[in-house]
Amino acid sequence: MALVPAPDSGDRLTGTARPGIPLNGPAVEARAAIRGTLASWADLIVEGRTVRLPLRTVPALAAFLRRHLGWLAVHPAAEDAATEIDALVQRSLRIARPRHDRRIPVGPCIANGCRGRLTAVARDPGSALPSAVECDADPTHTWPPERWRALYRNLPARPTGLSAREISTAWRIPAGTVHWLADEHQWRRSRDGRQVYYAQEDVLDTLGRDRLESRDRLERDSTSP
């Protein structure tokens, strides 16, 4: 039912004024994102295990990932898979059960090298999610409000390089594809706990410099006086 917008919800509709059932645009986009993300992780499993690709439907892809969950759980991309799928779940829940959370802009993300913006989100009292300070570029950059000041003062430096999330965002490719490319082209990598960072030169040699340089130039222009 989330595909049909509620009256006065403010959600945009897909299509034109042609007759038929109006659709909730964000819900349609979320469904497509779920299918695309599950397919990208299924592709990684197929490549790594030499198994047959499942049907490109959400139920078939979800069942396939469940069958191979043990293999994916020990893969270097496991944390990115969990993060990306969790972000899809949260996005879908927000669309299916919209609430009126209070959002307060905080400023640039405090994570080293992150170009995202932080927002303090005061959740609706009936929400299953806690209030938090969230980054719009990386869902792993999330802190409870009471810890944010301490983190800001004592933020440790991270290894140099690009995370799979940063690569996925800059080149607009699924995180599962990033990990496949990293294995295929033998990108050098470093770790900070469970987080993996890939050598920027290796990434640029494979994916090209134009998109990353364009993104950096736009961000410099947007912050210049």
Q: Could you report the per-residue pLDDT of 72-90, keeping only the tens digit for each? A: 888 988 888 888 888 888 7
Query: 143-174 burial string, b = 16+ CB within 10 Å, else e?
Result: beeeebeeeeeeeeebeebbbbbbbbbbbebb
Share of the chain above pLDDT 70, in %: 68
- Range with lowest mean pLDDT among 32-41, 139-148, 174-183: 139-148
Q: Could you report the per-residue pLDDT of 164-179, keeping only the tens digit for each? A: 888 888 888 888 888 8
**CA–CA separation, 177 and 198 (whole Å):** 14
Task: Reply yes or no on whether the pLDDT at 43 is more than 80.
Answer: yes
State the pLDDT confidence band at 63, using cuts at 50, 70 and 90: very high
Residues 64-73 have a mean pLDDT of 90
State the burial class of residue 199 (Cβ atoms within 10 Å of its Cβ: 0-12, 13-18, 19+): middle
Supply the DSSP symbol for 24: B
Predicted local distance difference test score (pLDDT) of residue 102: 74
More confident call, 219 vs 178? 178
Predicted local distance difference test score (pLDDT) of residue 146: 66
Mean pLDDT, the chain, rounded, equals: 75
State the pLDDT confidence band at 67, using cuts at 50, 70 and 90: very high
User: Which tokens in the block code for residue 162?
Assistant: 């690009």
Predicted local distance difference test score (pLDDT) of residue 187: 93
Q: Which residue has the tokens 């899809």?
A: 88
pTM, to two decimals:
0.43
